[in-house]
């Protein structure tokens, strides 16, 4: 029997990825705000709405982690891997993630969040 239950793993991964996504989107928002875009509003709105969704998911994840006595610790990073410790109810599971995998998965999740935000918006506004 594994020490860390399988249903906890997606929450541990959310604890890794969601803060990274928030950090990236906050930086991107700053870049958009200081850029020479003619119409910044639509881009800022997408980023802001995505940030709101990601923050809500992180809050839900943190609430779950608190209820289930879960803790994530970043143990170290080198050129190839980042190591995390997943801790739950006194059990610790060390996991190593390839940095390229972290980057690719973060990009994939940002695309998923953008699609979610877009689907919540209005379609076909510019009809003639």
Name the band, by pLDDT with cuts 50, 70 and 90, for residue 120.
Answer: confident
The sheet carrying 70-77 orders its strands as 70-77, 81-88, 91-98
Count of other CB atoms within 10 angstroms of residue 118: 13
| Tokens found for residue 32 | 């958009």
Q: Would the pTM of this model clear 0.85, i.e. be above it?
A: yes
Question: What tens digit of pLDDT does each residue of 47-80 get?
Answer: 999 999 999 999 999 999 999 999 999 999 999 9
Kindly list the domain boundaries of the chain, sorted by start residue.
Answer: 6-119
With beta carbons less than 8 A apart as the criterion, state whether 58 and 19 touch. Answer: yes
Q: Please, what is the angle between helix 99-120 and helix 41-67, to 10°? A: 110
Closest CA to 19 of 88, 67, 82: 82
């Amino acid at each position: 029997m594994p020490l860390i239950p399988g249903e906890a793993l997606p929450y541990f991964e959310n604890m890794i990825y969601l803060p990274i996504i928030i950090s990236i989107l906050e930086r991107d928002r700053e870049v958009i705000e200081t850029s020479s875009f003619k119409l910044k509003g639509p881009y800022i709105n997408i980023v802001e709405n995505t940030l709101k969704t990601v923050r809500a998911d992180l809050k839900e994840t943190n609430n779950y982690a608190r209820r289930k006595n879960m803790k994530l610790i970043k143990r170290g990073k080198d050129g190839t891997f980042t190591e995390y410790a997943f801790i739950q109810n006194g059990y610790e599971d060390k996991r190593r993630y390839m940095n390229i995998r972290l980057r690719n998965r973060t990009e994939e999740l940002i695309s998923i969040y953008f699609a979610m935000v877009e689907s919540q918006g209005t379609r076909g506004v510019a009809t003639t």
